[in-house]
Structure 1
Amino acid sequence: MRQRHRTLRLLGSLLLVAAAGVSATGAVPAGPGPTAIPLDRVVPAPASVAPGGSPYRITDGTRIRVDDSREVRRVGEYLAGILRPSTGYRLPVTTHGGGIRLRLAEGAFGAEGYRLDSDRRGVVITAARPAGLFHGVQTLRQLLPAAVEKDSVQPGPWLVAGGTIKDTPRYGWRGAMLDVSRHFFSVDEVKRYVDQLALYKFNKLHLHLSDDQGWRIAIDSWPRLATYGGSTQVGGGPGGYYTKDDYREIVRHAASRHLEVVPEIDIPGHTNAALASYAELNCDGVAPPLYTGTEVGFSSLCVGKDLTYDFVEDVIRELAALTPGRYLHIGGDEAHSTPHADYVKFMDRVQPVVAEYGKTVIGWHQLTGASPAKGALAQYWGLDGTSAQEKEQVAAAARAGTGLILSPADRIYLDMKYDESTPLGLSWAGYVEVRRSYDWDPGDYLAGVPESAVRGVEAPLWSETLRTSEDIEYMAFPRVAGVAELGWSPAVTHDWDAYKVRLAAQAERWEALGISFYRSPQVPWL
């Protein structure tokens, strides 16, 4: 495996290309000049890389040729929107001409795979589905100088190394979760994170929309959930919530980046914001005050009340109607104030409601302590130190057919501090430096779990200590890139020594994009 990486790096280092004497087609003649970015510098690592041949140079004569399809044209316009500000070129999106071509064709690509071919005549990205073309465009971005990400004209040259990349993802679930409940983040802040995730081929955005500290989505049949339950956040402050149009805009923007939004309403615990909004949801009929602290496990819906299930059905019905994706997350973690028998009763009654409104249930892995519905997914967030009994409970559910999303807290909880000096984040799961977050294999992480049960990985980012986009970025980057690689790249490419070099090269791109990131001492930054 390490020999393969050394070979690819050597081949990549030999890709010297000329910058002068370029025709309007973008062809580059032989001769000395600047070096194109090697094909094997991409994150996440592609499945197959074959460097070779002359590079292509983007010029003012380049066109972006697309199929006569609305979806393919959208990918072409997205690419043009990235390239035009920095190159200063027109880059018309058209159904004829040459330069950069995006085409759909049947092949061994799957729903998200692609093939990228580059030579002196141009760049061709081929996929079976628009999502594959979009992911191929992210690879093309990384094959261009980092200055291509800037919003003002840069000098170039804009060279794409010659060769072929063939790429398909290892897992179908490559997610990132953003907690908008502990601290509220605006629509624009969420969209900014979506754009950053898209660069690394994520395909799921999990929004944690409710918790003890805030309810963040408008529900028409229970309006005080948002107007009162969403009126504060950790440490106090105004909080906030998404109107239905706000939520639709997040869903629309995520879909334009080929991410599916997975909404979460955390029940039966983590419900103080709801209980404070409606006294009748409490067993004693008394509403607790709004909560701005960070403790967990003290709240619970009243499992014995029929009104509780009317409430849950109303919320699920309205949220399902807003959400075109397949999944709805019902939480289920840290329900310490709900007796186990009540928890099982609650989950048995609520899961069919999710199915009734056309969605597939996801719950945190505590759902496996009840009876997961057929087709349900369980999101595992345990630690290396999680009890053997709890791990076996999850493994037994996986062997019985429950799919797993892996989010081990001491590996890929992005809110964990990097080390003791990190100014943001928490450390209850330990310190999580960049290597620790990358250096594990989802396929064999949990003993007794068949690899076929692992649907993929997801990086949660809880927001107890986070208030701004800069805070999100500092805790997510660089670790989120490693999670992307765990979800996308073949296991055979997994090698820390090779990865940290490719990761270091991302820094210039993050700077061009204005991303605040942590300069881990474990990474040989340029």
Structure 2
Amino acid sequence: MTDMISLAPQAHSGVAAARPAAIPAVQSADPSVGSFSLVSGAQISGPSSLAAIVARFAADVETDSGVALDLVDAGARSGAPAISVEIDETGLASVALARGLRADGRDLRDADERYGLEIDSTGIRVWATTPEGIHRGLTTLRQLITSTTTAGVVELSGVRIVDGPRFAWRGLSVDVARTFHDVGTIKRVIDMCSLYKLNVLHLHLTDDHGWRFEVPAWPALAEVGGAGALGDRPGGHYTQADVAAIVAYASERFVTVVPEVDMPGHTQAVFAAYPELAPEPSPAAAQAEAFGLAIGTLDSDRGRTREFVRDVLAAVAAQFPTSAWIHVGGDEAFGMPDEAHAAFVEFAVSTVRDLGRHAVGWQEAARADVGPEELIQYWIEPTQLEGMFGANSDGAIEAPFPPEVMELVADNLAKSFGDVPAALAKGASILVSSNRTLYLDRPHADAAATVEQEATRSRVGLPFYPPATLREMVEWDPVAETPAIESDHRIGGIEAAVWCETVTNRDDLEFLLLPRLAGVGERGWSTHPTDWNEYVVRLAAASRAWNRRGWNWFRPASIEWPDAV
């Protein structure tokens, strides 16, 4: 196979040995004397306050590597354990605290994710000042164990790691409206997020194609609005018990679930359930519908719309108690007058504030009166507009919709160039979700390793986005990617998104997420620029865990992946 990237360290002039085989790349790693062997039955010990975290780590290690560790309480053990876990702050000040915003609203120092990990000939030690920091350190250790396990024996090189995240918000948005993903699938996604130190799962719960959670005061939202999905895909919704299970599962893995109710556009499922909230039909809306584009928005001055918004956001706040933020959408309100759009966004934001939460909105929400309490999610990367709509032989943008409809779409896109500067001028922070580097529903550009995967690659991924390679989606920087941003200080965090127009099931979803999600973790956590030749060695080693967990992942033919274990 030509242009094969090998796992062998010597193929990269020694750079592979310079960094531990963990993703994201650690901030600081110094070699220690000797190495340490780990086998099933080795003891791991920590204080009782960390027992649940340690037990989950041991279960994950056994799943990923087959090595079964023996848990021993620190107060009851005799002799030195192979792995000791401690609350301690020694040496952690050498790594800066994260910048940005926490999705759970906690102070960055109270939710300190920094940790230390030391391996030498006497054993392994993991320490941090918070349980969350312990979880991050054990996650790195778990990756090192998985990448070096051979025939049930782990041989870990001596190293002292001190590590912490660049950004406090490191997220993934999953579209469950166009394709409904059940609780089991969402838990698998949470496991992927946790493995790569992503700490936010943003659920896009509502859109034109489906409404996915219960609002007691408006039962038809779930019963009628949730009955369908895109095309002939099965619908569904999360009961309140389902939501509670997802939130609890995520919280145990230090992932905050941020809910989104997309308004005032993307609301056809609302209108199907409650037609009295819908606008009058229009010729533009009829033309757009014929091309698969929905036009029609909620209006805060129409009928019971304000009551509807209050009830929906109150239900969200009650069902997602761990999130300090509620996403109110605000994007692609095609055909809505600017004043009406701004008024709606301002009403939604004020309602969120009244509930004691903060509002997130897509970048178009910056056209309303937002401020320092809000987070604006930047997604329309300017150079991608031509790629989204194509160009003819004369270089002119081709219109995929009738002229009347294209005029509405083009108007929204033209205004997008001022969104981020406007948000910054109003004091809001920016959540970086550029569609060029963080939209995981782009087609894969790399050729697949198998005929079957090549067939999937030709089908999955939005065709109006230019295909992207794994390398393109990891070798970039959030500051350089974001207009009007000159440093980390105004960035609240980064968040990838996977939209499900072409995703029909769990396998399609995972095919787009992996290996790309590892790169999202790299960009959100690590301050180091990523060198592809070094990164791909860590990435290939990471695939061992994907195989053992049965995740469906894309295998580029240009990378020499290890055999399934």
Structure 2-normalised TM-score? 0.81
Question: Residue in 1 aligned with 2:395?
Answer: none
Is the contact between residue 65 and residue 100 of structure 1 (CA under 8 Å) also seen in structure 2? yes
**Map 1:112-131 → 2, pairs under 5 A:** 112-131=113-132
- Deviation of 1:418 after TM superposition, in Å, equals 1.2
- Deviation of 1:303 after TM superposition, in Å, equals 3.0
Deviations 1:474-493 (A, max 9, x none): 11111111111010001x34
CA distance in structure 2 between the partners assigned to 1:102 and 1:494 by the alignment: 30
Question: Residue in 2 aligned with 1:158?
Answer: 154
Select 1:432's aligned residue among 468, 489, 493. 468
CA shift in 2, pair 1:244/1:416, >3 Å? same
Select 1:105's aligned residue among 88, 96, 102. 88
Deviations 1:12-46 (A, max 9, x none): 75xxxxxxxxxxxxxxxxxxxxxxxx852211100
Question: Residue in 2 aligned with 1:418?
Answer: 444
Is the contact between residue 19 and residue 25 of structure 2 (CA under 8 Å) also seen in structure 1? no
Number of aligned residue pairs: 488
Select 1:407's aligned residue among 433, 454, 457. 433
Is the contact between residue 384 and residue 410 of structure 1 (CA under 8 Å) also seen in structure 2? no
Question: Residue in 1 aligned with 2:314?
Answer: 317
CA shift in 2, pair 1:501/1:422, >3 Å? farther
Mean CA deviation greater in 76-85 or 325-334: 76-85
Q: Secondary structure at the match of 2:329?
A: coil
- Deviation of 1:521 after TM superposition, in Å, equals 4.2
Question: Residue in 1 aligned with 2:419?
Answer: 393
CA distance in structure 2 between the partners assigned to 1:373 and 1:396 by the alignment: 10
For the pair 1:364 / 2:362, whether they are aligned, the reply is yes
Q: Secondary structure at the match of 2:20?
A: helix
For the pair 1:501 / 2:498, whether they are aligned, the reply is no
1:325 maps to a residue whose letter is: S
CA distance in structure 2 between the partners assigned to 1:221 and 1:494 by the alignment: 49
CA distance in structure 2 between the partners assigned to 1:393 and 1:145 by the alignment: 44
Deviations 1:255-293 (A, max 9, x none): 11110000000000000001110122124499x99x999
Is the contact between residue 39 and residue 51 of structure 1 (CA under 8 Å) also seen in structure 2? no
Question: Residue in 2 aligned with 1:267?
Answer: 263
Is the contact between residue 410 and residue 431 of structure 1 (CA under 8 Å) also seen in structure 2? no
1:473 maps to a residue whose letter is: E
Is the contact between residue 398 and residue 450 of structure 1 (CA under 8 Å) also seen in structure 2? no
Q: Secondary structure at the match of 1:176?
A: strand
CA distance in structure 2 between the partners assigned to 1:422 and 1:104 by the alignment: 49
CA distance in structure 2 between the partners assigned to 1:298 and 1:388 by the alignment: 18
CA distance in structure 2 between the partners assigned to 1:400 and 1:93 by the alignment: 53
1:334 maps to a residue whose letter is: E
Select 2:48's aligned residue among 68, 71, 80. 68
CA distance in structure 2 between the partners assigned to 1:523 and 1:395 by the alignment: 40
For the pair 1:201 / 2:179, whether they are aligned, the reply is no
Is the contact between residue 146 and residue 508 of structure 1 (CA under 8 Å) also seen in structure 2? yes
- Deviation of 1:306 after TM superposition, in Å, equals 5.0
Question: Residue in 2 aligned with 1:453?
Answer: 490
CA distance in structure 2 between the partners assigned to 1:73 and 1:396 by the alignment: 47
CA distance in structure 2 between the partners assigned to 1:56 and 1:118 by the alignment: 7
CA distance in structure 1 between the partners assigned to 2:559 and 2:428 by the alignment: 37
CA distance in structure 2 between the partners assigned to 1:437 and 1:297 by the alignment: 30
**Map 1:40-439 → 2, pairs under 5 A:** 40-69=20-49, 72-84=50-62, 87=66, 89=68, 91-96=70-75, 97=77, 98-106=81-89, 107-108=92-93, 110=97, 111-146=112-147, 155-284=151-280, 295-323=292-320, 324-385=322-383, 390-419=416-445, 422-439=458-475
1:340 maps to a residue whose letter is: D
Structure 1-normalised TM-score? 0.86
CA distance in structure 1 between the partners assigned to 2:210 and 2:72 by the alignment: 44
Q: Secondary structure at the match of 2:473?
A: helix
CA shift in 2, pair 1:381/1:520, >3 Å? same
Is the contact between residue 434 and residue 481 of structure 2 (CA under 8 Å) also seen in structure 1? no
Question: Residue in 2 aligned with 1:30?
Answer: none
The alignment yields a C-alpha RMSD, in angstroms, of 2.8
- Deviation of 1:90 after TM superposition, in Å, equals 5.3
CA distance in structure 2 between the partners assigned to 1:362 and 1:407 by the alignment: 13
Deviations 1:90-124 (A, max 9, x none): 51241243221121123436411111011122211
CA distance in structure 2 between the partners assigned to 1:11 and 1:442 by the alignment: 24
Structure 2: gaps (5+ residues): 1-8, 98-111, 386-412, 448-456
Q: Secondary structure at the match of 1:321?
A: helix
Is the contact between residue 326 and residue 357 of structure 2 (CA under 8 Å) also seen in structure 1? yes
Structure 1: gaps (5+ residues): 14-37, 149-153
Is the contact between residue 289 and residue 295 of structure 2 (CA under 8 Å) also seen in structure 1? no
CA shift in 2, pair 1:362/1:93, >3 Å? farther
- Deviation of 1:200 after TM superposition, in Å, equals 0.4
For the pair 1:516 / 2:495, whether they are aligned, the reply is no
Question: Residue in 2 aligned with 1:470?
Answer: 507
CA distance in structure 1 between the partners assigned to 2:139 and 2:440 by the alignment: 23
- Deviation of 1:299 after TM superposition, in Å, equals 2.5
Deviations 1:155-199 (A, max 9, x none): 311222211111110111110111000010100110011111111
Is the contact between residue 434 and residue 522 of structure 1 (CA under 8 Å) also seen in structure 2? no
CA shift in 2, pair 1:399/1:176, >3 Å? same
1:276 maps to a residue whose letter is: A
Q: Deviating runs (4+, > 6 A) in structure 1?
A: 291-294
CA distance in structure 2 between the partners assigned to 1:368 and 1:500 by the alignment: 38
CA distance in structure 1 between the partners assigned to 2:269 and 2:15 by the alignment: 57
CA distance in structure 2 between the partners assigned to 1:524 and 1:395 by the alignment: 43
- Deviation of 1:251 after TM superposition, in Å, equals 0.4
Q: Secondary structure at the match of 2:360?
A: strand
CA distance in structure 1 between the partners assigned to 2:560 and 2:290 by the alignment: 39
2:30 maps to a residue whose letter is: A
CA shift in 2, pair 1:296/1:375, >3 Å? farther
CA distance in structure 2 between the partners assigned to 1:222 and 1:395 by the alignment: 38
2:377 maps to a residue whose letter is: Q
CA distance in structure 1 between the partners assigned to 2:68 and 2:546 by the alignment: 23
CA shift in 2, pair 1:88/1:477, >3 Å? closer
Question: Residue in 1 aligned with 2:404?
Answer: none
CA distance in structure 2 between the partners assigned to 1:302 and 1:122 by the alignment: 63
Is the contact between residue 143 and residue 161 of structure 1 (CA under 8 Å) also seen in structure 2? no
- Deviation of 1:388 after TM superposition, in Å, equals 7.9
Mean CA deviation greater in 110-119 or 384-393: 384-393
1:446 maps to a residue whose letter is: T
CA distance in structure 2 between the partners assigned to 1:352 and 1:220 by the alignment: 22
Is the contact between residue 440 and residue 512 of structure 2 (CA under 8 Å) also seen in structure 1? yes
1:115 maps to a residue whose letter is: G
